[in-house]
């Protein structure tokens, strides 16, 4: 059952008023988790919502938009489906499950059920794991799945419109080039080179 279906049924049951929907949905949150990656690279809306929440934990909304607002989850889905090799797709799809399993083990809750703090702590641990793995791996070994997710997040976010124009500075037509200007701490980096 996806979120839209669930909301529709609740509304029907209660005569058109979505009372208690949040309660109903939270009880339902385990259901999509069991289906993580079930469609392979034909990612479902639940998959993309899951990606968005991972990406948002990596690059959260601050005084600039976060990864979710930049639709980074949908970007992950596009790249993994269209651009990844089969071998990398497999690592990624396995990783979708591994991340949630690691969350279950650590917090006794799925990733989607976990609090922002729990998600953050989990990803800090996974980031350490991927850094250790990447440092030790042989040249032709595949990347760690969380390395893929982190790269997809940075790439998808900083090339998005909110990322490029709000978190960074973007000028479509600079019109001039000045090789040496003053910079003060806090000034944004250029979005493109």
Partner 1 sequence: MPAEQNTYDAIVIGSGISGGWAAKELTEKGLKTLMLERGPNYEHIKDYKTANLDPWQFPHRGEVTQAQRKERPYISRTWGAKEEVMESWAKDIDCPYTEVKPFNWWRAYRLGGRSILWGRQSYRWSDHDFEANLKDGWAIDWPIRYKDIQPWYDHVEKFAGVSGSLEGLEQLPDGHYLPPYDMTCVERDVAARIKEHYKGQRHMIIGRVANLTAPIPGRTACQFRNRCWEGCPFGGYFSTQSSTLPAAVATGNLTVRPDSIVMRILYDKDKQKATGVEVLDAVTNKTYEFYSKIVFCNASALNSAWVLMNSATDVWPGGLGSSSGELGHNIMDHHYNVGAAGVMEGYEDKYYYGRRANGIYIVRFANLFGDKRDYLRGFGYQGGGSREGWSRDVAEMSVGAGFKEALTEPGQWGMGVTGFGEILPHHENKITLDATTKDKWGLPVLSMDAELKDNELKMRKDMASEAQAMLEAAGVKEVRTWDNGHHIGDGIHEMGSARMGRDPKTSVLNAYNQVWDAKNVFVTDGACMASSACQNPSLTYMALTARAADFAVNELKKQNI
| Binding site residues, partner 1, CB under 8 A | 57-60, 62, 64, 75, 78-79, 82-85, 120, 123-124, 127-128, 131, 150, 154-156, 158-161, 164, 167-168, 170-193
**Of the two residues 34 and 190, which places its CB atom closer to partner 1 in the complex?**
190
Sign of CA dihedral 127, 132, 135, 140: negative
In whole angstroms, the minimum distance from the beta carbon of 110 to partner 1 comes to 19
**Of the two residues 6 and 168, which places its CB atom closer to partner 1 in the complex?**
168
Report the C-alpha gap between 30 and 112 in whole angstroms: 8
**Of the two residues 16 and 86, which places its CB atom closer to partner 1 in the complex?**
86
Find out whether 17 and 100 touch, Cβ atoms under 8 Å: no
In whole angstroms, the minimum distance from the beta carbon of 169 to partner 1 comes to 9
Torsion-angle region of 180 (φ positive above 0: left; ψ -120 to 50: alpha; else: beta): beta
In whole angstroms, the minimum distance from the beta carbon of 139 to partner 1 comes to 12
In whole angstroms, the minimum distance from the beta carbon of 8 to partner 1 comes to 31
**Of the two residues 24 and 170, which places its CB atom closer to partner 1 in the complex?**
170
Residues facing 133 on adjacent strands: none
């Amino acid at each position: 059952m996806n979120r839209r279906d669930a909301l529709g049924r609740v509304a029907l049951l209660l005569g058109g008023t979505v009372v208690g929907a949040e309660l109903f949905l939270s009880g339902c949150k385990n259901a999509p988790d069991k289906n993580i990656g079930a469609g392979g690279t034909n990612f479902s809306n639940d998959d993309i919502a899951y990606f968005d929440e991972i990406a948002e934990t990596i690059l959260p909304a601050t005084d600039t938009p976060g990864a979710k607002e930049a639709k980074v989850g949908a970007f992950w889905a596009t790249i993994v489906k269209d651009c990844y090799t089969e071998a990398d797709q497999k690592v990624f799809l396995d990783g979708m499950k591994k991340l949630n399993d690691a969350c279950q083990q650590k917090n006794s809750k799925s990733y989607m059920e976990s609090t922002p703090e729990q998600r953050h702590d989990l990803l800090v641990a996974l980031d350490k794991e991927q850094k250790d793995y990447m440092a030790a791996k042989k040249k032709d070994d595949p990347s760690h799945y969380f390395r893929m997710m982190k790269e997809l997040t940075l790439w998808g976010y900083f090339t998005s419109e909110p990322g490029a124009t709000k978190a960074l500075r973007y000028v479509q037509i600079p019109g001039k080039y000045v090789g040496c200007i003053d910079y003060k701490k806090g000034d944004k980096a250029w979005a493109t080179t």
